[in-house]
């Protein structure tokens, strides 16, 4: 996983060109890209609303793509220099680097992120926000990612994930994880729900 600070000038996301970028990325690697289009504004805002900017620490975004949720997080009050963006697609990494100066970019596999973050001494983690296409991974791997991320997180900090499916894509034991979910966001293509997971306090060490 390569790490470098983002220093280029800010450029606001442009919906039309981002749709084209996504279509291209999806045609080249559908399972990694996970969607033909970036999330819409309603979903991006709902993801950001699940984060409390007052919790101190970094906000880790897994699979930021072209950065629509990143922009919503900044609009919510998370300063760009609190963001750690973990993205596998090199073209999206280049775009994110140009758009979000001050954020830290980790180009690579989000499933390696907990170990990389720990090794780099990044933290405390105030929230993990994920747009990863989880269906391409085995349920056990999804669950491991959730637990490894939450173990890095500050008490009460959430792991936030959207899904186009009605049920949680991460199998969770109610004894370990508390979860809540948004209503269906019908204005997104495809309609989606936002899940928020937290470790029960007694589980957090």
Ligand X SMILES: C[S@@+](CC[C@H](N)C(=O)[O-])C[C@H]1O[C@@H](n2cnc3c(N)ncnc32)[C@H](O)[C@@H]1O
CB 111, min distance to ligand X, A? 6
User: Which one of residues 23, 111, 178, 179 is an interface residue with ligand X (CB under 6 A)?
Assistant: 111
Least separation in angstroms between residue 122's CB and ligand X is 16
In whole angstroms, what is the distance from residue 96 CA to residue 158 CA? 23
The one among 23, 32, 176, 181 contacting ligand X by CB under 6 A = 32
Contacts of 127 (CB under 8 A, 6+ apart): 50, 51, 52, 55, 59, 60, 153, 157, 158, 159, 160
In whole angstroms, give the CA distance from residue 133 to residue 153: 22
* Sole window of 1-9, 32-40, 149-157, 172-180 interacting with ligand X (rule: CB under 6 A): 32-40
Smallest separation, CB 175 to ligand X (Å):
28
Residues in 117-146 at the binding interface with ligand X, rule: CB under 6 A: 131-133
- For residue 190, whether the previous peptide bond is cis, meaning omega lies within 30 degrees of 0, is yes
Q: Does 88 bind ligand X (CB under 6 A)?
A: yes
Cα–Cα nearest to 13, from 39, 32, 43, 46? 39
> Contact between 74 and ligand X (CB under 6 A)?
no
Nearer of residues 139 and 155 to ligand X, judged by Cβ: 139
The verdict on 164 binding ligand X (CB under 6 A) reads no
169 binds ligand X (CB under 6 A): no
Residues in contact with 95: Cβ distance below 8 Å, sequence separation at least 6, in sequence order:
21, 66, 67
**Beta-strand runs (E) in the chain:** 2-5, 58-62, 83-87, 104-107, 125-130, 159-163, 177-181, 193-199
Q: For ligand X, give the closer residue by CB, 14 or 200.
A: 14
Does 156 interact with ligand X (rule: CB under 6 A)?
Answer: no
Which is nearer to ligand X, 41 or 176 (by Cβ)?
41
15-28 and 90-99 helices, crossing angle to 10°: 160
Number of residues interacting with ligand X: please give it, by CB under 6 A. Answer: 22
Calculate the CA 42 to chain-centre distance.
16
Which residue do the tokens 């173990």 mark? 151
The minimum distance between CB 197 and ligand X, in angstroms, equals 17
The residues of the shown chain that bind ligand X, judged by CB under 6 A, are: 32-35, 38-39, 63-65, 68-69, 86-89, 92, 109-111, 131-133
């Amino acid at each position: 996983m390569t790490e470098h600070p983002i220093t280029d000038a800010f450029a606001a996301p442009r919906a039309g060109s981002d749709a084209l970028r996504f279509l291209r990325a999806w045609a080249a690697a559908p399972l990694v890209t996970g969607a033909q289009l970036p999330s819409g504004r309603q979903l991006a805002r709902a993801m950001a609303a699940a984060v409390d900017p007052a919790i101190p620490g970094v906000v880790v975004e897994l699979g930021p793509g072209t950065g629509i949720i990143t922009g919503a997080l900044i609009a919510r009050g998370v300063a760009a220099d609190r963001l750690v963006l973990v993205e596998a697609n090199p073209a999206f990494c280049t775009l994110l680097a140009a758009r979000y100066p001050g954020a830290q970019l980790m180009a690579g596999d989000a499933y390696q992120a907990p170990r990389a973050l720990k090794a780099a001494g990044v933290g405390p983690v105030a929230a993990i926000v994920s747009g990863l296409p989880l269906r391409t991974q085995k349920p056990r791997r999804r669950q491991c990612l959730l637990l490894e991320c939450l173990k890095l997180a500050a008490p009460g900090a959430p792991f936030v994930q959207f899904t186009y499916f009605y049920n949680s894509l991460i199998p969770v034991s109610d004894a370990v994880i508390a979860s809540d979910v948004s209503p269906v966001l019908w204005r997104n293509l495809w309609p989606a729900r936002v899940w928020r997971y937290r470790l029960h306090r007694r589980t957090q060490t």
